[in-house]
Amino acid sequence: VSPDVVVIGGGVMGVWTALQVRLTGRTVLLLDAYGFGHPRASSGDDTRILRSSHGDDAFYARWSREARLIWEAFGQEQRVELFVQAGTLWFAREEAGFEAISESTLRALDVPVEHLSTDEVVRRWPGIRVEDLAWALFEPEGGLLLARRGVETVARAARRAGVDLRIAAVRPPERAADGRLESITLLDGFQIAAEAFVFACGPWLPALFPDTIGDRIRVTKQSVHYLGPAPGDARWMAPRFPSWVDYQTTFYGIGAVATTGVKVATDSYGPPFDPSAAADRFVDPEALPPIRDYCRVRFPDLADAPVVETRVCQYETTEDAHFLIDRHPGLEDVWLVGGGSGHGYKHGPVIGRYVASLLDGHEPTDEEQRFSWTRDRSVPTHLRTSAELV
């Protein structure tokens, strides 16, 4: 029997879509080439920042707040810790920069924020150096999400809710003359028919849809390092240590959790990357020195800390860093979901809910037009955790 909906891709966007679509009563098949929570996916790192600040963009601030509530309630229901409320700290160099704009947007939405002096930052988080800063914005209800664990837990809940989960790789869809795909073909030639197909394939989307997406989603290699603090030094553990962003310099990081060290990384784009490549996933050697240099200024006690783990992730960035959530322009039974652009993880539950509503006939509102693939995407945005433009 054919399922109503096939979701291809079991990263954060795909697992939440599969679960939310199932909850609307449809039968759902969820396929992933490698599994659910695997290390090659963009969702496949241990931790991700949860923040509400997006400069003057209130839409993602609201989505992030809604998503946070869902992650928290879902984790409690599943009895798995998925969100750690460590807070998110933004290092501000200017009085009236991105952080100040975010602060007024969040205050207008009644999102709790604190405007901290640099002395207060040092008092609360000994180990942080602030000489180059003007102040800091603190989101006490921000923090971190346990990313791989989150995907794995949602996939398990989806299975319990009746979603059929299988490991299988889907071939790039063929062009269809009548504007419908009707069925997908697996690598072994097996065909699966359904009423609708959701391709939530993260950085693999450009290769699956070379004509529709192609180089309009840029895939880059991001090298992430985890540092190991000195023995007995608990200052860097979440929730004691916050998630943090230094927007002007592009650096960001996340406190240690039981299973990882302290993450320090840059939001600058790495080199172009093919996520299907069979090459080993070693981080680029040139990525480490800037991390050490940054730590020397901000966290001197971590500057020479050993690297205890590394991870290669990929950004799949759209032209304006807004997600892609839209019907395929030439196939009416195909939906494209992705373009996380380095900030998509936290929104997973709300993205899934939104895709489920689209399958139910919801027409995007003016605000939701941001996800459309056919609109002009040439206007630069400030949605990432760095001042570097897309």
Among 344, 354, 356, 371, binds ligand FAD (CB under 6 A): 344
Is there binding between residue 14 and ligand FAD (CB under 6 A)? yes
Binding segment for ligand FAD among 128-136, 284-292, 339-347, 367-375 (CB under 6 A)?
Answer: 339-347
The least distance separating ligand FAD from the CB of residue 48, rounded to whole angstroms, comes to: 4
Reference 190, options 161, 209, 167, 208; nearest CA is: 167
Taking the C-alpha atoms of residue 377 and residue 371, their distance in angstroms, rounded to an integer, is 10
Strands (E), the chain: 5-8, 28-32, 47-50, 83-84, 88-92, 114-116, 135-139, 143-146, 164-167, 183-185, 191-193, 196-199, 218-227, 243-246, 251-254, 262-266, 307-317, 324-328, 331-338
Using CB under 6 A, which of the segments 36-44, 88-96, 106-114, 359-367 binds ligand FAD?
36-44
Which residues 179-198 are close enough to bind ligand FAD by CB under 6 A?
none
Q: Does 371 bind ligand FAD (CB under 6 A)?
A: no
Q: How far apart are CA 294 and CA 135, in angstroms?
A: 18
- Asked if 201 touches ligand FAD (CB under 6 A), the answer is yes
Tokens read off for 328: 């395929």
CA gyration radius for the chain?
Answer: 21
User: Does residue 263 belong to the site contacting ligand FAD (CB under 6 A)?
Assistant: no
Q: Does 218 bind ligand FAD (CB under 6 A)?
A: no
Asked if 248 and 348 count as a contact pair (C-beta separation under 8 A), the reply is no
Check residue 11 for interaction with ligand FAD (CB under 6 A). yes
Scan residues 114-173 and list those touching ligand FAD (CB under 6 A): 169-170
Query: Distance (Å, rounded) from C-alpha 270 to C-alpha 220?
Result: 5
Query: Closest distance between ligand FAD and the C-beta of residue 286, in Å?
Result: 16
**Using CB under 6 A, which residues numbered 293 to 322 contact ligand FAD?**
313-315
Distance of CA 245 to the CA centre of its chain: 15
Interacting residues with ligand FAD (CB under 6 A): 8-14, 31-34, 41-43, 48-49, 169-170, 200-204, 208, 222, 224, 313-315, 338, 340, 342-346
